[in-house]
Structure 1
Amino acid sequence: MNKTIRRASVFTLLLVLALLVRATWVQFYEGQALADASDNRRNAITTYAEPLGNIIVAGEAVTGSAKTKGSDLDYKRTYTDGPLYAAVTGFASQAYQPTQLEGIYANLLNGTDTRLKTVMDTVTNERAEPGTVVTTIDPAVQKAAYEALGDNKGAAVAIDPTTGKILAVVSTPSYDPSSLTDANTAGAAWEELNADSDKPLTNRALRQPLPPGSTFKLVVAAAALEDGLYSSVDDRTDSPDPYTLPGTTTVLRNENSSAPCENATIRTALQYSCNNVFAKMAVDLGQDKVKAMAEKFGFDNAEQDVPVRAYESVYPSDMDRSSTALTGIGQFDVTATPLQMAMVSAAIANGGKLVSPHMVSQITDGGGDVLKNYDDDAGTTEIVSSDTAEQLQSAMQTVVDEGTGTNAQISGATVGGKTGTAQHGENNSKTPYAWFTSYAKADGKEVAVAVMVEQSDAARSEVSGNGLAAPVAKAMMEAALRS
């Protein structure tokens, strides 16, 4: 054979072998990855070939499926009261990846979860009947929070302290998930929502940690009582007023200059929200002890799943004493989500024990059989002693009865709370954040809430936890106690 022909034949053979190897690799090793790729339209066609399973609130579906026209995607997702429940459901879209509960339980809701398959499904290789997600949300509490927040930019969370069930998760401004479900129209809605400076797609209740301001004083007070720095909320503290931050000439003053904050008790300091007391207390405890208590409540947990993963609330490390003082009033680099501050009140209200917060009660298969019961799996952790919890409850009640949280009072109910106004911007140049966290008890029912108002139309001088956030909390607590 001619040498040139022989070399060409060998080269051609090598090319054929390379193609065979590549084809084999793609078929047996990359095939599944290609099949699962988000831009593989076959997946969307399969997912939306049949109606999806539903997300349930108080026995009623807040989701649905509707027939589409002129598309190879036979069905699209629909929502009942979409903006009201958007922070809970998220969205399932023909064009974009699903979010929130729609994303976490996507396989259950589209019938591909292996737990759904019957013997017949396995034999026929058909997709199983989709499952159902049953939430813990109380529609009355959810609606009360949504309506009370109104046009304000903010968020609210409510928890049953005794069970850990999340009764409400609200973020405003909201959006209508239905606008993102149809592939033909989702693109324009997606661009509009992402261009909105108010960021309606951001779940502020779970995924926007901000400085918690004076609501964090509850954590510092808990640390002081548990450590033995003070044995009672009615012990006088060692707290000069005004207080000079250690190592600096910066004087920390109180919002109310006439408040009896000098050497005030913890009860009085919470009642009047005395900055000098808790800044000095944080320094006396030291950052490690404050951090340890914050972490017991849930701060610095990067895997806080409810089951939607909440963003981490942070208590900082490696600070000097002046910075530690500022953390005592919920400033410097302390951040918290409304979920986190609701957890603080829930643990205090429940005798010092935190039941794992969760907003899904159970998931079921297509026939209604329970696949997993999250209520049964909710663990309980002791955060503080029952004595400390009782003392903090009493002090929080004083805040509502006689202090800065009077707008949260509810006739016939025991209510305890803590206001917060967190500085925002360099030298506090922007409108502060208004916070309120609280609990209420009446007729054997309990609820803990946290509300954060990030922006409102109120004048700067009127921005306060009691003025803006406490009325929202009151509406939520009233709804929970009535339900």
Structure 2
Amino acid sequence: MNAPLRRVAISVLVLFTLLIINVNYIQVVRSEELRDDAGNTRVLAEEYDRERGSIVVAGTEVALSVPTEDRLTYLRQYPQGPTYAPVTGYYSLVYDNAMIERASNEILAGTDPRLFARRLADLFTGRDPSGGDVVLTLDPAVQEAAMAGLEGVTGAVVALEPSTGAVLGMASTPTYDPGLLSSHDPAAIRAYWEELNAAERDPRLNRAVSDRFSPGSIFKVIVSAAALSTGEYTPDTVVPAPDTLTLPGTTTELENFGGSSCSSSGEQSLIDALTVSCNTAFAQLGIDLGEDRVREMAEAFGMDGEEREIPLTVVGSSIGDPENDAELGVSSIGQQDVQMTPLQAAMIAAAVGNDGTLMAPYLVDQLRAPDLSVLDETDAEVLGEPVSAEVADQLTEMMESVVAEGSGRAARIPGVTVAGKTGTAENAGPDHNWFIGFAPADDPQIAVAVFVANGGGTGGDVSAPIAREVMQAFLDGQGE
């Protein structure tokens, strides 16, 4: 063989070798990555040829697949789309999936290993393959009341069953119609996507779990818990409550809300300080307790900065890293770098209502096979005991006072004792508004957190009425 032919042969051999290496790299090394790529619509097209499982709330399908006459065998529908969109998410031919549609995709798509026997039977019997169902813990009355309460504002509501951690309601606004992202018309899907992109506040976010906010005075429950747990404080312990507090090492004067006075004497009981949400009292209390005690209590309630899966991904909440006593004082009233998700806020209320025991929140009750047999069922799980039952009782007494006599009056329910705490948090725009609480206070059945972004008012006048309606909806349903 002459030299030119030899060079051509070697070049061809090298090219074939590179081609074989590339094919193996794509098919073996990158196969899972490419399969999971949101831009890979081939996998979605294959999934549309089988009936996707349903997402179920209280026996009603809030996401289901129906047969069609077009080239894609099934169409995903959301009969109450905007009401449950923050939880269900969407299942899109163009934009993949989100929320429960993503978190529970293997069950819904029928690819979960627990459905292997079913898939094998389908292969031999010729039966059309189908996915399993995801049964959520949501209570329809709670969800509807939460979404109605948030109408016209940007915010979130989370309701939990204190004794188990089951999520009874998870609302986020603004919302959207997932059905418009799940059609078989790519042009229409993209047009709606661009409409959502242009919105001032992204409707596709679930603000209950995907973002953190300054909690303001609801954080005073944490500081109260830290104080009571030392054994050196009771609800009746008198603490300093001046009109202004000069933050240590600075000339900055910390004021109470609206420049108000908490007490004519400059001091008051701890229960009264929480009832009127006295900033100076709690800033000084946090400084006196020290960062370690405040941080340890916050982390015990779940504010450890770590993500959790419910199975939706929940971003971590934390108190930040105050560098000195001045920053610790501001942190102790829920400002500075303290950041909290609405879910975390509900966990605080639920733990107090559950005799000091914090339960792991969960959104999925059951996973079911296509024949409705139960593949898996969520068991209640204890995350920790941030406070003793005795301290929880003291916190409950103090939070009852907030609703009965203080800033949380708008959360009162006739014939029911409600425990709660309001919060108004300063930020770059109008104030954020919060309320956390539980009812009935003597036998808590529901714990709730309400967050309204840039509501501009106070937690007592903006968020507390929404919490009342949510708790009332649940309690009314329990009596039926």
Fold similarity call, TM over 0.5: yes
Question: Relative to structure 1, is the Cα distance of residues 31 and 278 closer, same or farther in structure 2, using a 3 angstrom cutoff?
Answer: closer
Aligned partner of 1:327 in structure 2 is 331
Question: Relative to structure 1, is the Cα distance of residues 123 and 439 closer, same or farther in structure 2, using a 3 angstrom cutoff?
Answer: same
What does residue range 1-400 of structure 1 map to in structure 2 within 5 Å?
1-31=1-31, 33-68=33-68, 70=70, 72-118=71-117, 119-121=120-122, 128-182=129-183, 183-184=185-186, 185-228=188-231, 230-255=232-257, 257-260=260-263, 262-374=266-378, 376-400=379-403
Q: Show structure 1 runs of 5+ residues with no match.
A: none
User: CA–CA distance in 2 between the matches of 1:159 and 1:475?
Assistant: 15
User: CA–CA distance in 2 between the matches of 1:379 and 1:476?
Assistant: 25
Report the Cα offset of residue 259 of structure 1.
Answer: 3.0
Report the Cα offset of residue 377 of structure 1.
Answer: 4.5
Aligned partner of 2:432 in structure 1 is 433
User: CA–CA distance in 2 between the matches of 1:476 and 1:137?
Assistant: 13
User: CA–CA distance in 1 between the matches of 2:173 and 2:31?
Assistant: 42
Aligned partner of 1:450 in structure 2 is 449
Secondary structure in 2 matching 1:449? strand
Report the Cα offset of residue 254 of structure 1.
Answer: 1.4
The answer to whether the 8 A contact 1:307-1:359 is kept is yes
Deviations 1:382-403 (A, max 9, x none): 1101111000000100111111
User: CA–CA distance in 2 between the matches of 1:410 and 1:15?
Assistant: 77
Secondary structure in 2 matching 1:436? strand
Secondary structure in 2 matching 1:475? helix
The answer to whether the 8 A contact 1:194-1:201 is kept is no
Secondary structure in 2 matching 1:207? coil
Counting matched residue pairs gives 471
User: CA–CA distance in 1 between the matches of 2:441 and 2:274?
Assistant: 23
The answer to whether the 8 A contact 1:45-1:74 is kept is no
Secondary structure in 2 matching 1:117? helix
Match of 1:406 among 406, 409, 424: 409
The answer to whether the 8 A contact 2:322-2:331 is kept is no
User: CA–CA distance in 2 between the matches of 1:67 and 1:44?
Assistant: 16
Aligned partner of 2:459 in structure 1 is 465
* Higher mean displacement: 386-395 or 42-51: 42-51
User: CA–CA distance in 1 between the matches of 2:255 and 2:8?
Assistant: 88
Secondary structure in 2 matching 1:417? strand
Question: Relative to structure 1, is the Cα distance of residues 285 and 94 closer, same or farther in structure 2, using a 3 angstrom cutoff?
Answer: same
The answer to whether the 8 A contact 2:159-2:169 is kept is yes
Aligned partner of 1:416 in structure 2 is 419
Question: Relative to structure 1, is the Cα distance of residues 18 and 364 closer, same or farther in structure 2, using a 3 angstrom cutoff?
Answer: same
User: CA–CA distance in 2 between the matches of 1:114 and 1:103?
Assistant: 16
User: CA–CA distance in 2 between the matches of 1:398 and 1:21?
Assistant: 71
Question: Relative to structure 1, is the Cα distance of residues 431 and 401 closer, same or farther in structure 2, using a 3 angstrom cutoff?
Answer: same
* Higher mean displacement: 38-47 or 404-413: 38-47
User: CA–CA distance in 1 between the matches of 2:88 and 2:434?
Assistant: 25
Question: Relative to structure 1, is the Cα distance of residues 398 and 443 closer, same or farther in structure 2, using a 3 angstrom cutoff?
Answer: closer
The answer to whether the 8 A contact 2:41-2:94 is kept is no
TM-score by length of 2: 0.93
Aligned partner of 1:475 in structure 2 is 469
Report the Cα offset of residue 325 of structure 1.
Answer: 0.3
Question: Relative to structure 1, is the Cα distance of residues 216 and 33 closer, same or farther in structure 2, using a 3 angstrom cutoff?
Answer: closer
- Structure 2 counterpart of 1:65, one-letter code: S
User: CA–CA distance in 1 between the matches of 2:67 and 2:80?
Assistant: 19
The answer to whether the 8 A contact 1:165-1:359 is kept is yes
Report the Cα offset of residue 9 of structure 1.
Answer: 3.4
Deviations 1:415-458 (A, max 9, x none): 01111111121xxxx310111111111795611101011144xx
Report the Cα offset of residue 122 of structure 1.
Answer: 6.2
* Higher mean displacement: 110-119 or 172-181: 110-119
The answer to whether the 8 A contact 2:243-2:261 is kept is no
User: CA–CA distance in 2 between the matches of 1:152 and 1:13?
Assistant: 66
- Structure 1 counterpart of 2:402, one-letter code: V
- Structure 2 counterpart of 1:188, one-letter code: A
- Structure 1 counterpart of 2:155, one-letter code: G
Report the Cα offset of residue 27 of structure 1.
Answer: 4.5
User: CA–CA distance in 2 between the matches of 1:225 and 1:5?
Assistant: 89
Question: Relative to structure 1, is the Cα distance of residues 125 and 405 closer, same or farther in structure 2, using a 3 angstrom cutoff?
Answer: same
Report the Cα offset of residue 42 of structure 1.
Answer: 2.3
- Structure 2 counterpart of 1:470, one-letter code: A
Report the Cα offset of residue 133 of structure 1.
Answer: 0.6
Name the Cα RMSD after superposition: 2.1
Report the Cα offset of residue 18 of structure 1.
Answer: 3.9
The answer to whether the 8 A contact 1:76-1:93 is kept is no
The answer to whether the 8 A contact 2:50-2:129 is kept is no
- Structure 1 counterpart of 2:291, one-letter code: Q
- Structure 2 counterpart of 1:478, one-letter code: Q
TM-score by length of 1: 0.92
Question: Relative to structure 1, is the Cα distance of residues 16 and 418 closer, same or farther in structure 2, using a 3 angstrom cutoff?
Answer: closer
Q: Show structure 2 runs of 5+ residues with no match.
A: none
Question: Relative to structure 1, is the Cα distance of residues 7 and 66 closer, same or farther in structure 2, using a 3 angstrom cutoff?
Answer: same
User: CA–CA distance in 2 between the matches of 1:31 and 1:442?
Assistant: 54
Question: Relative to structure 1, is the Cα distance of residues 150 and 19 closer, same or farther in structure 2, using a 3 angstrom cutoff?
Answer: closer
User: CA–CA distance in 1 between the matches of 2:254 and 2:2?
Assistant: 95
User: CA–CA distance in 1 between the matches of 2:394 and 2:301?
Assistant: 17
The answer to whether the 8 A contact 1:412-1:442 is kept is no
